[in-house]
Each structure stands twice: as structure tokens, then as C-alpha cells.
């Protein structure tokens, strides 16, 4: 084979190319070494009898996001004076509700509505009692910036997080970016999406085929709930809510106009989102303003048929239940308590 003679200019070109290729290869290798650890996929265990959960395409669930979101949920860094966290008004032992009639925010400001429990949020289409927010990610900002709750400009919250190296590292690991509003809201929403409650005595009876678990009184109460009590007209489905807005006639005149504040339609005066009855034994006081302290008061209200407000739901009518029937109904409602949920260590503070 004849020798191939390469002209000098071409030799220089080849050498430069080889050097550049070697440099780029080394640089690429170093950059790969600097990349954060890959995200760890997380599969949410949906309770038996629950439908498939919809996860937003811009916020897939990962272990890193959930851990970060839980840390933020319990951290008062997101409030003006660093004294209030999400967990201040949402206690796990109370199904992430507040046992106070009205919650207390920074500077001892008193809220205007009873804090709702937090569970099965991924199955909700509207958030807050008047349904003013449409996504879990969006709802994160409301309590942070609300002047009677955490009272902090979310942009200042982000600046605080960016001064904390631990949080910078965690956000980089979870989102490949430093803390910002996008990642802040999606981290807390990811944690809240895992707050699933679906292992009560009723669930074990209805979905896990344990037909011996309910007592005679509880079974009678279940029959009242789904039949003559007409409770299931509004509190229906696997989550015991029709996800609509109803006026349940607790007042003749409403100081809090409810859904009207969002729609400005007169037909929505006094309407609030129908709550799930899961864990209802734990979430007193009841109603949007915490005006009823016991389940007995609640049952008595519905048994009497409400105050007949012009917008009152047609499902609220006089029931004429006996004392025994009312007791049986309450016994059934207590079968919706999920003790596994309120003791789940995955939801507890780090």
C-alpha cells in the first residue's frame, strides 16, 4: 500500500480537530458528572374503590418533590414573622383540619372561615369553600399571601428560600432549578397529593369485602344515610361529596356570601362547596364558619329542615328522624374515620 502524504496545512487542521474533540469529550464528561441525581419516580397508592388519579403533566410526582413539599408544609419560613406554617391550621390528628372555630394567623389575626380538612385533594376540581381556585398548585399561594393568614408576598418567600443553602440543594435535586414560584407551588402540591384517606371501617366493608366489621347500629345508620335520611343526595360517591356548591340553610341571612363572592350571581348567595364526610368525627367544629360543635347539632339541623333561605338546597328538608335513628346515623358517620390516615408516619414532620 503506497504511503499517503498529508500536506502540512491539513496536518494542522487534523491536529486542531482532534484536540477540540478531546476537549469537548472531557468537558461533556465533567458536565455529566455535575448533573444532579436523577429524579426518583413515585407511585401513589390509590385506595381500593378510588378512581385513577389525574396528575398534571407539568408536575409529575417524584419522591424528591414530595419530601421537599412536606418540609415546606411544616416550615413557618413561608409566613411574615416565621411563626405560622401550613401545619399550624391543618393538624394530622384532626384529618389535617383545625379544631378551632376559626384559625389564627400572623399577628393573632382571626380568619373568617373554618379551615377545611386536607385529604383526597387530588380528586377535587375546586379549592377553598367558595371554589375560588381551580388547581392544587394555585391554591398553595392563597394562604401564603392572605393578610390574615401567613401574610407574606410569595416573591419574598422565594427570596428567603434562596438564602437557605439547604433549600437551594433540595430544589435543585427536585426541580433542577433554584427556588421560584413555579417549583414552590408544585412541591407543596406534590406532598398534598399524597394525602389519601380511604381505609375506614366503611371502606373495609364496602370495598374490601369485610361484611362483619359494621355493628347493627352502624348498618342501620348506613341505611338511613343512603335512603330516608337523603344524606347521599349531596354526600355521594367514593369521597362522600358531589363536588357541587349548595346552600344548606344554616342562616336566613348570610354574613359570608359564599360562592356569590366568586360568581356575583344571586343564586349563589350562601352556597359553599359540599365537603367530604370522610373523617367527619375528627373535624369539628362544622360548617363553613365552625358554628356547630358536634355531630348531634349537625344532624338536628338537617332533621329540622334548615332555615328556608331562598337559595336553600331542595335536598335539605325536614326528616322527622327518631332519637334512635339519629344515634344510628351518627354511628355510621363515625365508620368513615380512617385511623391509618391520621397516624401515617409518611405525613408527619421530619
Question: Nearest-5° angle of CA 17, CA 23, CA 27?
Answer: 145
3 state DSSP class of 246: strand
Report the C-alpha gap between 311 and 314 in whole angstroms. Answer: 9
Q: Between residues 14 and 167, which one has the greater pLDDT? A: 167
The pLDDT of residue 263 is 98
Averaged pLDDT score across all residues of the chain: 91
The pLDDT tens digits of the residues spanning 150-198 come to 999 999 999 999 999 999 999 999 999 999 999 999 999 999 999 999 9
The pLDDT of residue 43 is 85
Q: Which of 53, 70, 341 is nearest to 196 (CA)?
A: 341
Domains of the chain with CATH codes: 63-196 (1.10.760.10), 201-341 (1.10.760.10)
Mean pLDDT throughout 219-236?
A: 97
Report the C-alpha gap between 42 and 66 in whole angstroms. Answer: 9
Q: Which residues are paired to 104 by β-bridges?
A: 110
The pLDDT tens digits of the residues spanning 62-74 come to 999 999 999 999 9
Q: Which residues are paired to 62 by β-bridges?
A: 41
pLDDT band at 350 (very low <50, low <70, confident <90, very high): confident
Q: Is the pLDDT of residue 78 over 70?
A: yes
Which residue carries 342501620 as its cell?
220
The pLDDT of residue 42 is 81
Tally of CB atoms within 10 A around 109: 16
Mean pLDDT throughout 20-26?
A: 39
Which residue carries 383540619 as its cell?
97
The pLDDT tens digits of the residues spanning 262-319 come to 999 999 999 999 999 999 999 999 999 999 999 999 999 999 999 999 999 999 999 9
Helix (H) or strand (E) holding 245: strand 245-246
The pLDDT of residue 41 is 67
Contact 316, 299 (CB under 8 A): no
pLDDT band at 334 (very low <50, low <70, confident <90, very high): very high
The pLDDT of residue 40 is 66
Report the C-alpha gap between 136 and 142 in whole angstroms. Answer: 11
Report the C-alpha gap between 319 and 304 in whole angstroms. Answer: 7
Reading the block at residue 308, the C-alpha cell is 328556608
Reading the block at residue 211, the C-alpha cell is 361484611
Q: Is the pLDDT of residue 46 over 90?
A: yes
Q: Which of 65, 64, 71, 90 is nearest to 143 (CA)?
A: 90
Mean pLDDT throughout 186-215?
A: 97
pLDDT band at 347 (very low <50, low <70, confident <90, very high): very high
The pLDDT of residue 39 is 61
The pLDDT tens digits of the residues spanning 99-138 come to 999 999 999 999 999 999 999 999 999 999 999 999 999 9
Amino acid at each position: 500500500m503506497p504511503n499517503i502524504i498529508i500536506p502540512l496545512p491539513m496536518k494542522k487542521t487534523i491536529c486542531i480537530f482532534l484536540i477540540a474533540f478531546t476537549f469537548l469529550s472531557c468537558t461533556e464528561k465533567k458536565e455529566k458528572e455535575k448533573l444532579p441525581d436523577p429524579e426518583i419516580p413515585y407511585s401513589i397508592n390509590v385506595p381500593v374503590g378510588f378512581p385513577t388519579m389525574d396528575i398534571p403533566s407539568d408536575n409529575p410526582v417524584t419522591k424528591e418533590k414530595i419530601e421537599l413539599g412536606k418540609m415546606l408544609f411544616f416550615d413557618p419560613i413561608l409566613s411574615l414573622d416565621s411563626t405560622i406554617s401550613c401545619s399550624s391550621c391543618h393538624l394530622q390528628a384532626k384529618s389535617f383540619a383545625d379544631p378551632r372555630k376559626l384559625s389564627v394567623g400572623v399577628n393573632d389575626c382571626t380568619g373568617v372561615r373554618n379551615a377545611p380538612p386536607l385529604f383526597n385533594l387530588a380528586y377535587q376540581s375546586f379549592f377553598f369553600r367558595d371554589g375560588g381556585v381551580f388547581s392544587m398548585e394555585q391554591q398553595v399561594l392563597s394562604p401564603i399571601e392572605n393578610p390574615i393568614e401567613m401574610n407574606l408576598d410569595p416573591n419574598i418567600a422565594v427570596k428567603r428560600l434562596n438564602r437557605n443553602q439547604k433549600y437551594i440543594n433540595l430544589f435543585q435535586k427536585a426541580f433542577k432549578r433554584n427556588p421560584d414560584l413555579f417549583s414552590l407551588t408544585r412541591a407543596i402540591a406534590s406532598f398534598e397529593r399524597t394525602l389519601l384517606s380511604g381505609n375506614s371501617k366503611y371502606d373495609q366493608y364496602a370495598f374490601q369485602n369485610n361484611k362483619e366489621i359494621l355493628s347493627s347500629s352502624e348498618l342501620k345508620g348506613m341505611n338511613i344515610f343512603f335512603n330516608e335520611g337523603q344524606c347521599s343526595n349531596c354526600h355521594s360517591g367514593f369521597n362522600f361529596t358531589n363536588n357541587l356548591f349548595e346552600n344548606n340553610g344554616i342562616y336566613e341571612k348570610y354574613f359570608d356570601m359564599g360562592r356569590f363572592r366568586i360568581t356575583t350571581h344571586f343564586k349563589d348567595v350562601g352556597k359553599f362547596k359540599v365537603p367530604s364526610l370522610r373523617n367527619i368525627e375528627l373535624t369539628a367544629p362544622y360548617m363553613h364558619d365552625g358554628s356547630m360543635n358536634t355531630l348531634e347539632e349537625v344532624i338536628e339541623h338537617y332533621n329540622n329542615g334548615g332555615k328556608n333561605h331562598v337559595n336553600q338546597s331542595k335536598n335539605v328538608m325536614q326528616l322527622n328522624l327518631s332519637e334512635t335513628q339519629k344515634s344510628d346515623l351518627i354511628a355510621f358517620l363515625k365508620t368513615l374515620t380512617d385511623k391509618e390516615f391520621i397516624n401515617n408516619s409518611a405525613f408527619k414532620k421530619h
